[in-house]
Chain A
Amino acid sequence: MTHEPPAIDARDLTVSLSARPTLRGISIQVAQGEVVALLGANGSGKSTLVRTLVGLVPAQAGRIGLYGIPLERFKDWYRIGYVPQRVTAVSAVPATVREVVSSGRLATSRLGRPLSRADQVAVGDAIETVGLAARAGENVAALSGGQQQRVLIARALAGQPDLLVLDEPLAGVDLTTQQLLAGTLARLVAGGTTILLVAHELGPLDGLIARAVVLRDGAVAHDGAPPVAAGHHGQPGHDHVHPHDPVSTIEQEARWLR
Chain B
Amino acid sequence: MAALSLEFLQPAFMQRALLAAVLVGMSAPAIGTYLVQRRMALMGDGIGHVALFGVAIGLALGAAPVLTAVVVAALGAVAIETLRERGTASGDVALALLFYGGIAGGVVTIGLSASASNANLLAYLFGSLTTVAPEDLRLIAILAGLVLAVTLGLSRWLFAVCYDEEFAKVAGLPVRALNLVIAVSAAVTVTVAMRVVGVLLVSALMVVPVATAQQLSRGFRATLALALTLGVLYAVAGVIFSYYADTAPGASIVVLGIAGFAVVSALAGIGRTVRNQRRRPDLVEVYEDDVILES
Contact = CB atoms under 8 A, between A and B. Distances in A.
Nearest to A176: B288
A8 interface: no
Contacts of A93: 33, 36-37, 210, 214, 220, 223
Contacts of B171: 77-78, 82, 103-104, 106-107, 159
Contact of A106 (B160, B221, B286, B287): B160
A109 interface: yes
Contacts of A112: 153-154, 157
B280 interface: no
Nearest to A103: B160
Interface stretch (A9-17, A140-148, A219-227, A241-249): A140-148
Contact of A95 (B157, B159, B286, B289): B159
Contacts of B221: 99
B288 A146 contact: yes
Contacts, number: 103
Given A93-B220, A93-B223, A138-B218, A111 B157 contact: yes
Interface in B266-291: 285-289
A95 B288 contact: no
B156 A106 contact: yes
B287 A144 contact: yes
A115 interface: yes
Given A56-B166, A106-B157, A139 B219 contact: yes
Chain A contact residues, majority secondary structure: loop
B170 interface: yes
A82 B168 CA distance: 10
B138 interface: no
Interface residues of B, number: 35
Interface residues of A, number: 41
B117 to A, nearest CB: 41
A157 to B, nearest CB: 13
Interface in B49-77: none
Interface centre among B153, B156, B223 (most CB of A within 10 A): B156
A75 B173 CA distance: 10
B218 A96 contact: yes
Contacts of A55: 169-170
B39 interface: yes
B87 to A, nearest CB: 14
A56 B37 contact: no
B217 interface: yes
Interface of A: 54-56, 75, 77-78, 80, 82, 84, 86, 91-96, 98-100, 102-104, 106-107, 109, 111-112, 115, 137-139, 142-146, 155, 159, 172-174
